[in-house]
Structure 1
């Protein structure tokens, strides 16, 4: 892969990953609630799902979702329903005191992992996105495997960096937010954002 092609890909992915979405919103929300250290299971769930999405896209699942309206709709509405459910749950959550960085938060680590995993898997557009993005930066005359590995690893590193940045930013807001009134409004803001993301997802087209 030519260096200039890879650098163009890095710039593209840098700005795509930085764009706030359900993944980054969850990293921010859990960073506020639990601190960076206890948000690691959430980030692991997000990144595990990302790896499966990239692998699925490389294996042709992205092309299948792009070609089949029914398959795309099933994944889309399932993902939208989960985001709306998460939004309602977050909106209605009581304003509990934020855990200190050395206190284990309420709920098992696997619950935070599963939440991250399901949020990342909720958007079928991600499969189509990778299926469309990767070929734009690949040379058909060169071996495909090494190129896919470079693109996937690069995306993974940049996405991981942004997720930690959002989680870290959330953690720095914890002192200011640690009051019942502010926590209540934070829950409503985060819940509303998740709900809006779910509603917006229903309008997404496979094209």
Structure 2
């Protein structure tokens, strides 16, 4: 991979992981509701689950969609239903003091698994492989995944910290409730460009 392509890939990764989407909105909500420390498994699941998805897409999953284009439609429908359910959960989250004792942020495995239900993640993975690892050789795929791991870690930490920073402003239950409803609405709205594109 040439230096110019590496720079272009880094800019592409930066633009796609820092823009609002399901992962970032859920990380911000997790930071606001649970704090940074408790959200670490969630943020690491996003930061490293997505690069793992890129590797798997690059080494074979992409061929599934090329062979059966209708599989992508099925995935989109399942993804929309799942994200709507998550938005409902975020909108109805209780303030920390009123939350059930078992309330917790997503685990590493749950956050990594969420990548497979996230329409934006699918678009990013397919786009990154198509643009920057079109030959599908192992080194190119690993470069794409590595760049996403590095930039994704910074993005996940930034969005979670942003949620943690607004936590103080959300100390009153009505403010937190409004914030959670806004995050849920933005989560739903974040699917529109991906689904229409």
TM-score bucket of the superposed structures, by smaller chain: 0.7 to 0.9
Partner of 1:29: 29
For 1:27-176, list aligned pairs within 5 A. Answer: 27-97=27-97, 106-107=102-103, 111-124=106-119, 126-127=121-122, 129-138=124-133, 144-176=137-169
Aligned residues of 1:57 and 1:128 also touching (Cα < 8 A): no
> What are the ranges of 5 or more consecutive residues in structure 1 without an aligned counterpart?
100-104
**Cα RMSD for the two superposed structures:** 2.9
In 2: Cα distance, 1:155 partner to 1:168 partner: 19
- Per-residue Cα deviation, 1:145-170 (whole angstroms, up to 9, x for no partner): 22322221011110111110011111
Moved more, 86-95 or 129-138: 129-138
Q: TM-score, normalized by length of structure 1? A: 0.80
Q: CA deviation at 1:135?
A: 4.5
In 1: Cα distance, 2:173 partner to 2:104 partner: 23
Q: CA deviation at 1:115?
A: 4.4
Q: CA deviation at 1:186?
A: 1.2
Q: CA deviation at 1:90?
A: 1.9
For 1:191-206, list aligned pairs within 5 A. Answer: 191-197=184-190, 200=192, 204=195
Aligned residues of 1:43 and 1:113 also touching (Cα < 8 A): yes
SS state at 1:44 partner? helix
Aligned residues: 196
In 1: Cα distance, 2:35 partner to 2:93 partner: 18
Q: TM-score, normalized by length of structure 2? A: 0.83
Aligned residues of 1:31 and 1:170 also touching (Cα < 8 A): yes
> What are the ranges of 5 or more consecutive residues in structure 2 without an aligned counterpart?
none
